[in-house]
Amino acid sequence: MSEKQKDIVSSMIFLILGVSVYLYSGTIKTIIKADVGPAFAPKIVTMGIIILAVIKLGLSIKKNTPEYTKKTTKNENTLNGLLTIVALGLYVALFDVLGFVISSALYLFFQMCLLMSAEKRNYIKIGIISIVVPVCIYFLFVKAFNLMLPTGLLG
């Protein structure tokens, strides 16, 4: 598969994923009536994903250099890509059960370990980042925006 084909396929996957999550975010229950509901952030993020996927798709279709369209035999990143898709699926599936903080921390830890080379992996640093970031985001949404995120096991 050439780089061009890979970019087109991945753009289509992210486009479908973005549209699906955008539509699914409309089903999030509103507990407290506010100007900005709980579906606001997912819709903003997925709009970004959709826009970037469309841009990447357009650029991929337009670009026709020989090295870009040449078929490659390397499949070293195929497994990482599939594991990322599985991890995202599990993250979405476990979001309500585990809550935002736990599911986000687990996803971030796994994704950072997956993307980082073995010699650069620092599990303590990855663990700290994986916990601190979701906790900060949770308190930002709950305290600053007055939006409830799923608490799951912590609630």
State pTM to two decimals: 0.58
Most confident region among 2-6, 25-29, 121-125 by mean pLDDT: 121-125
Q: Give the start-to-end residue ranges of the domains of the chain.
A: 1-73, 75-155
Q: Answer whether residue 147 shows pLDDT above 70.
A: yes
Residue range 91-118, pLDDT digits in tens: 999 988 999 999 999 999 999 999 888 8
Residue range 27-77, pLDDT digits in tens: 887 777 766 777 788 889 999 999 999 999 999 999 888 777 777 656 657
Query: pLDDT value at position 76?
Result: 59
SS3 state at 85: helix
Query: pLDDT value at position 74?
Result: 60
Query: pLDDT value at position 134?
Result: 95
54-61 long-range CB contacts below 8 Å, 24 or more apart?
A: 54/11, 54/15, 56/7, 56/10, 56/11, 56/14, 57/7, 57/8, 57/11, 57/12, 57/15, 59/7, 60/4, 60/7, 60/8, 60/11, 61/8
